[in-house]
Structure formats: structure tokens, C-alpha cells
């Protein structure tokens, strides 16, 4: 097997619950669930709650029936980000390269661990695990291997609070280990890919690497071939210390239930437009293509898009664009449970020539929507919100969602945590 610089993967155990237990120690040792938008569904659970039979996305009223003694708290992504950044600081102190993969997962160059902590790689990883627990208060699992794929497999299979140093295995130990991992456990192999592989009698990771690499490429594209090499111990996907430029920016998610009321659906669209523009402003981009995706409970979804003649971030124009798409989505009198707004065909603002004149977008029914080169009201709203607080000033159309803005947990979402490689 090829030898390369060891890569580590650190994954927090039940991160949202663990973060709540840092500030509320009374939650330790009991079943705990973290609730999502409007406290409707369980988005994270402790091992105790999982053992009781509660699954992710179960409504709170069902979870209470399954586990009456459980404690449920609303999510607080601002607090979770504080601990996440602290974890990054600890890793940066012991590793020359750290990748902020997600709010609770980091890849890192593990080559310096034995020097920093002393002892073998495994002993050093155990000391890092203890340091993270002592300084941050969050239990983590750590995997170390020759590639990111192997490192992540190591942390996944060592949970909870375990350490796997896969790069130190003998060939026989490695083959036995890969044979024990179903191919569907590989990061990047979804249900459809798993089904394709199983049709060709590839059921575990050992079957996967024993297949021909070109066959895997034909079956799962070049991404599948990269996984094949990574499982062989060749590092294809390097540690990225900064996030590459976005190809698309999206905002939205669960509505915390469902609604068939047109005014509420429009209000959700406007709320997400404000969030989308906020994200575009943060990254300094305009967009030309805008897509809307809707999900309905126990029904098919709907998707549509509009491509504009010029890139924009105009609040007035985007509200009209998404409102029109919503109106022609045949969603009237039909309940919606999820809504996603996506901006694509991005352009950096300092790389495009803006017009000095008004531009017009014609809606589906022929109504013209005029965009001014400088939206003074939107600019003023942005300036005030930056000083006073997020959503201090917002569109009047969002008044149909009073419970959302009254609940502080809705002020900050997981997608507002910047710098992560995913989500």
C-alpha cells in the first residue's frame, strides 16, 4: 500500500447535544433531543435518546410518546459555532493544516501529533481527544489514515469517543477492516450508487477496492474512481485550508411544519430572499439564475428557475421573481413543508460592469418589474441591520410569520456559519 503523510479526521460525538451539555451539565447522562425550526422536529439526539428509539426528523409530539423522560431543547447555532471555532483553535495549535469541513467535523495533517504530544500516533491522538474534551468540553472521535476517506472511515467506526489509526494496520488487518465496512458507509456513496455496486456484487469496501478502477469510474464517474484510490491509501482529495468560491448560494429549509396559506408561503419566500441577499452580500457576488424548490408532505415536489439578462441582488426584483415562481408552482391550496431558494451563475461585483440605467424584468403574465441601479431603501435597511441587529428592519410581507421572528432561535441557521466546506 502507498505511504503518505497521515491525515486525521475529527468528528464530534452528538455535537449539538454535547454543546448543550457544556453549558447545561444537568443534561449529561439523560436522553436529550435538539429541536429544529419552531421546535417541530428532532434534528439531533443523544445516544440515550437514540437507544430509546427516537430517530432524526421525528416530530416532537411523537418523540415524547416514545421517550417521555427525555428533555428537548431548541437549537442555538450561534452557541454551536462558538464551540466549533474553539475546536478549530485547538487543532490549529497542534497541526500545520486544518480543513473546516463542517461545524462538527475537521480534517487535519496529523504528522505533527507524535512530536507535539509524544509517544506513538495512537497515544498522541488519544491525548488530542482528551485535550479537546478538557478545553472545549465536547467529546470527539478521531480517525487517522493515508487519505481523507480512510480517516473519516476511522472516526465513523470508532464512535463514540474512540480512536482508529488505520495507517498503522498491517495489510491483513486493513483488508479485514475494509471487509467489515458496507460500501454504503462510504462518504460519497448514496443509495443509488450503493444499489449499482451491489448489482455487481460489490457489498463492502474490500469488494470495492478489488474491482477494477476503470470499472468503478464507468459505474460511479470520476468521483467514484477517486474514492477507489483513496481507499487504496492514495491521497487524492487534499486538505483544503480555505473554502473554494461558491458555484451556488442557497437559503431556505424546513418551514417547521406545513402551510397552504398563500400569504404565509409568500412571507417565507420574502424571508428567504432577505437571507439569500444577505449571503450574496457577504460573499460579494451578484447572480443571474435563480431557482425555487418546494417540497410537500407525502406528495411530489416542484422546481423552477428564472435566468435574468443581468446579474443582480435587487430585493425588489428578487421578491418579484420568486413570488412569480411560487404563484405558478400550482401550490395554491396545497401545503408546503420545505422551501429552497438558490442563486447561480454568480459574478463577483468587482468584475462586472453595472448599468447606469434602470433594467426591467417581465414577469410570466407580462407585468414589468423595474430595478434601479442603486436601491436606496435596501441599502439603508442593510446598514441599519448591521448596526442594530439582524432582521431589525425587514419586509412588511414577513408580518405573516410573527412566531418565527419572535423566536430568537430563528435568527441564525447552520448555513450562516461561514467558511465550512459543506452545508
Which residue matches cell numbers 424571508? 271
- Alpha-carbon distance of 317 to 299, in angstroms, equals 30
Helices within 1-112 (DSSP H only): 15-23, 47-51, 60-66, 77-92
Q: At a CB cut-off of 8 Å and minimum separation 6, what does 148 contact?
A: 7, 9, 107, 230, 235, 237, 239
The answer to whether the CB of 395 falls within 8 A of the CB of 270 is yes
Q: Which of 99, 105, 274, 295 is catalytic?
A: 105
The answer to whether the CB of 126 falls within 8 A of the CB of 116 is no
Helix axes 15-23, 77-92, angle to 10 degrees: 100
Active site (annotated) includes residue 105: yes
Cα–Cα distances (Å) from 341 to 211, 279, 288, 305, in that order, read: 40, 12, 13, 10
Grid cell in block for residue 315? 430585493
Please report which helix (H) or strand (E) contains residue 340, including its range.
Answer: strand 336-348
In sequence order, the β-bridge partners of residue 342 are 250, 291
The answer to whether the CB of 331 falls within 8 A of the CB of 302 is yes
Reduced to 3 states, what is the DSSP secondary structure of residue 22? helix
Reduced to 3 states, what is the DSSP secondary structure of residue 134? helix
Active site residues: 105
Amino acid at each position: 500500500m502507498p505511504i503518505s503523510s497521515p491525515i486525521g479526521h475529527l468528528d464530534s460525538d452528538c455535537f449539538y447535544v454535547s454543546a448543550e451539555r457544556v453549558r447545561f451539565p444537568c443534561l449529561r447522562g439523560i436522553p436529550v433531543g435538539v429541536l429544529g425550526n419552531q421546535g417541530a422536529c428532532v434534528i439531533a439526539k443523544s445516544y440515550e435518546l437514540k437507544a430509546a428509539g427516537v430517530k432524526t426528523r421525528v416530530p416532537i409530539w411523537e418523540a415524547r410518546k416514545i421517550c417521555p423522560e427525555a428533555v428537548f431543547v431548541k437549537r442555538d447555532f450561534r452557541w454551536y459555532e462558538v464551540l466549533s471555532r474553539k475546536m478549530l483553535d485547538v487543532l490549529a495549535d497542534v497541526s500545520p493544516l486544518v480543513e473546516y469541513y463542517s461545524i462538527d467535523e475537521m480534517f487535519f495533517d496529523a504528522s505533527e501529533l507524535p512530536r507535539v504530544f509524544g509517544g506513538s500516533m495512537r497515544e498522541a491522538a488519544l491525548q488530542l481527544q482528551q485535550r479537546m474534551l478538557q478545553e472545549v468540553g465536547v467529546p470527539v472521535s478521531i480517525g487517522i489514515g493515508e487519505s481523507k476517506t480512510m480517516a473519516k472511515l476511522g472516526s465513523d467506526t470508532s464512535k463514540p469517543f474512540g480512536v482508529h489509526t488505520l495507517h498503522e494496520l498491517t495489510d491483513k488487518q486493513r483488508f479485514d477492516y475494509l471487509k467489515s465496512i458496507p460500501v454504503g458507509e462510504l462518504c460519497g456513496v448514496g443509495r443509488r450508487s450503493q444499489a449499482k455496486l451491489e448489482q455487481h456484487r460489490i457489498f463492502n469496501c474490500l469488494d470495492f477496492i478489488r474491482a477494477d478502477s476503470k470499472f468503478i469510474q464507468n459505474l460511479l464517474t470520476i468521483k467514484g474512481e477517486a474514492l477507489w484510490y483513496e481507499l487504496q491509501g492514495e491521497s487524492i482529495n487534499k486538505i483544503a485550508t480555505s473554502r473554494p468560491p461558491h458555484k451556488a448560494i442557497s437559503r431556505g429549509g424546513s418551514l417547521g411544519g406545513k402551510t397552504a396559506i398563500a400569504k404565509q408561503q409568500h412571507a417565507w419566500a420574502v424571508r428567504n430572499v432577505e437571507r439569500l441577499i444577505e449571503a450574496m452580500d457577504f460573499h460579494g457576488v451578484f447572480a443571474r439564475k435563480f431557482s425555487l424548490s418546494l417540497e410537500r408532505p407525502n406528495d411530489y415536489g416542484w422546481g423552477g428557475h428564472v435566468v435574468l439578462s443581468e446579474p443582480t441582488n435587487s430585493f425588489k426584483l428578487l421578491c418579484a421573481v420568486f413570488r412569480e415562481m411560487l404563484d405558478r408552482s400550482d401550490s395554491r391550496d396545497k401545503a408546503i413543508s420545505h422551501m429552497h431558494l438558490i442563486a447561480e451563475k454568480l459574478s463577483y461585483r468587482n468584475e462586472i460592469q453595472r448599468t447606469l440605467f434602470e433594467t426591467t424584468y417581465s414577469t410570466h403574465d407580462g407585468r414589468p418589474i423595474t430595478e434601479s441601479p442603486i436601491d436606496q431603501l435596501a441599502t439603508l435597511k442593510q446598514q441599519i441591520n448591521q448596526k442594530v441587529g439582524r432582521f431589525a428592519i425587514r419586509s412588511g410581507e414577513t408580518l405573516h410569520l410573527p412566531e418565527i421572528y419572535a423566536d430568537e432561535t430563528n435568527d441564525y441557521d447552520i448555513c450562516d456559519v461561514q467558511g465550512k466546506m459543506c452545508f
